[in-house]
Structure 1
Amino acid sequence: MPPTASAVPALETVPFALPYAGRQLIGERLAPATPRRELLILHGAGQARRSHHAGLRACLAADGVASTAFDFVGHGETGGALAGSSLASRVEQASQVAAMLPDGPLALLGSSMGAYVALRLLERVDCSHLALVVPGVYTPQAFEVPFGPAFSALLRQPSSWHDSDAWERLVAFRGHLLIVMAEQDEVIPAEIPQRLLDAAVNAASRTVHVVPAAPHRLSGFFSEQPVAADAFHAEMRRLLRREAV
């Protein structure tokens, strides 16, 4: 039975255009009247954009979670060229958006490249809940290299991610952790999520959710597999219902 009108929480959508390096970071905060958790969502590379998380955000809003998402420079409504941007730039963009949010502990969701951005952001924000979705990690040598041929050359080096600083950054994390893996991920080696899980020795809780038969690009898969999408949404609800420590 569908919920009655009175059972559906009132939601407020607040769009923003935040100046950054001569452009405007375009995004919005979707929030119920009295949110119990604040979530910042960081999308990945390629064709990724904030709209890919719309279904998750609506589900979480109904569960009392406010979410903020934006398009990184070179993506979606923010637009612009990727040339000149970098992992370091993405951390700065995310940091500036995080600074706009209400005070208090923040939950982070990083997808693919966004997972590494989230790990880098841990030293700048008070993060109580962390979701790493099909997480990519990178050698520190790539952090300030502009996206383009030089960046790609670093990534093509065999197992360049082995010396990533992601592991040590996660060791210090004391909140609740969720790692989401795609069973047929053709981009992220299975060793990466496992090593991230092993590194999180001080986390208050650690959970791994495997999406059966899924490729790396989960947004397209979820649009065609609503049962898998619902299972992922349920894991996110469970994560964000855990009490902050």
Structure 2
Amino acid sequence: MPLLSRDFDLHTASERLRVTVDLPAEDTLPRVLSLHGAGPSNRARMDYLAAHLARLGWGTVRFDFSGHGDSSGTMSGSSIDKRMQEALAVATELDRTTAPVLIGTSMGGHLAVRLSEDLGPSHLILFCPAAYGTATETITFGPAFTDALRRPGSYHNSLAYSAISHYAGRLTIIIGAEDEIIPGEVIDRYLAAAKRARSVRLERLAGAPHQIHGWAVKTPGAERLVLSIVEDELQR
């Protein structure tokens, strides 16, 4: 099945977001929304997964958050709350006749869970998901944000845990066994809170660091493993 990709700019009130839509065929709409993480991440990290999903018949929309990749803005002018608004703007590209699939990586995992309350996904697929305390969501990225993250137990009152406690779709968490960023307690709290989920699946990838996608495409057999996990979940 061929991959049809289209890049375009989507303008919000304050930013220009660069968006890529990957489709399996003409006259189809994406059902998957992919949200990348912080740091040097961008929408290109998901090239391999978006291509595979298109071959399976699933269209994907992904974009660079402001301050990343080909979008406008700066990291210091962004926040979790702003990223949520940007994701909701891009979500208007989704097929609205069916429940979407949300894929989130690291910070994007927190965002995907938070957005599940607005978008009602059938599947949440979270790669090394982070969780952020309530107070941090409106703090712009920079020293104050970092200081808030460093406070012991800062993520214990995360709104992501509240959101996932109401989620009734399928939940898949994929984390590297060698992840040096996400505390194990973050994952444990996600799993404990997801009591209403239709199914819960945890995959720990041996040898994988926090940067799962970069590791997957460079490690023999790892890319196929990641793709097979996602494919298996979407076929359920």
TM-score range, shorter chain: over 0.9
Q: How many residues align?
A: 234
- The whole-number CA distance in structure 2 between the counterparts of 1:23 and 1:123 is 24
In the other structure, the counterpart of 2:136 is: 142
Per-residue CA deviations over 1:27-86 (Å, capped at 9, x if unaligned) read 111111276971100000000011011011111111111111000001111143112210
Runs (4+) off by over 3 Å? 34-37
- The whole-number CA distance in structure 2 between the counterparts of 1:110 and 1:51 is 14
> Is the 8 Å Cα contact of residues 37 and 107 (structure 1) preserved in structure 2?
no
- The whole-number CA distance in structure 2 between the counterparts of 1:75 and 1:25 is 9
Are positions 1:26 and 2:18 aligned together?
Answer: yes
Per-residue CA deviations over 1:138-184 (Å, capped at 9, x if unaligned) read 00000111111111110011121122122221011111110011101
In the other structure, the counterpart of 2:92 is: 99
Change (3 A) 1:119 1:71: same
Are positions 1:90 and 2:90 aligned together?
Answer: no
- The whole-number CA distance in structure 1 between the counterparts of 2:28 and 2:206 is 32
- The whole-number CA distance in structure 2 between the counterparts of 1:79 and 1:51 is 16
RMSD: 1.5
Change (3 A) 1:132 1:222: same
- The whole-number CA distance in structure 2 between the counterparts of 1:98 and 1:10 is 23
AA in 2 matched with 1:76: G
**Unaligned 5+ runs, structure 1:** 1-8
- The whole-number CA distance in structure 1 between the counterparts of 2:217 and 2:169 is 30
In the other structure, the counterpart of 2:233 is: 239
Following superposition, the deviation at residue 132 of structure 1 comes to 1.1
> Is the 8 Å Cα contact of residues 128 and 176 (structure 1) preserved in structure 2?
yes
Alignment of 1:122-161 (within 5 A): 122-161=116-155
- The whole-number CA distance in structure 1 between the counterparts of 2:107 and 2:139 is 14
Percentage of pairs with the same residue = 35
Are positions 1:175 and 2:174 aligned together?
Answer: no
- The whole-number CA distance in structure 2 between the counterparts of 1:239 and 1:87 is 28
Using structure 2 for the length normalisation, give the TM-score.
0.94
- The whole-number CA distance in structure 2 between the counterparts of 1:144 and 1:180 is 27
- The whole-number CA distance in structure 2 between the counterparts of 1:217 and 1:55 is 14
Change (3 A) 1:62 1:221: same
- The whole-number CA distance in structure 2 between the counterparts of 1:221 and 1:115 is 18
AA in 2 matched with 1:114: G
Tell me the secondary structure at the aligned position of residue 40 of structure 1: strand
AA in 2 matched with 1:27: V
Are positions 1:44 and 2:18 aligned together?
Answer: no
| Corresponding residue to 1:80 among 39, 57, 73 | 73
AA in 1 matched with 2:58: V
